[in-house]
Amino acid sequence: MTKSELEQIFDQFAKTAIKEDDDGWYLFGMNASVSWVDNTWDVNICNQAAYSLGRYTARLGTGKINNICATLPESITVIRLDGESYFQTTDLEWLKSWLFENRLALRIKKRVSFNPNSSNLAKNNAGTAPA
């Protein structure tokens, strides 16, 4: 799957949350990664920030993993390893809503929409009209 396809699918997340590695493009969060493999969405809950730097021994705490996995429906089979967990799904709409609801725990950057009328820039430039 290409970067633009992932950006279009996960349009509620920042474009900088789409990363590339040897296996292709994926959605990146500091505590998760989501990739499209063999017609399923693979979700890996782990210390992704450390993994991307090659620090494979850095793990998430059991409490953090338990809290994240507790938000999953019982129909999802979760494989738990030491310091990480993993699951697959084919339901994209459910996955998108679950990721967005849990984006803070997963530490996935949310897309920020720019509105010049409500930004601090507009407030700071109020009353400064060009001469």
- 10 C-beta neighbours (distance < 10 Å), count: 21
| Percent of the chain residues past pLDDT 90, beyond the cut | 45
Task: Point out which residues pair with 43 in neighbouring strands.
Answer: 34, 87
Q: Where are the domains of the chain?
A: 3-124
Report whether 48 contacts 29 (CB < 8 A).
yes
The pTM of the full predicted model, rounded to 2 decimals, is 0.76
Percent of the chain with pLDDT strictly greater than 70? 79
Mean pLDDT of all residues in the chain? 82
Band of residue 60 on the pLDDT scale cut at 50, 70, 90: confident
105 beta partners:
none
- On the question of pLDDT at 83 being above 50, the answer is yes
Distances (CA, A) of 80 to 37, 45, 65, 66, 87: 19, 9, 9, 10, 9
Distance of CA 102 to the CA centre of its chain: 9
Tokens of 112: 């920020």
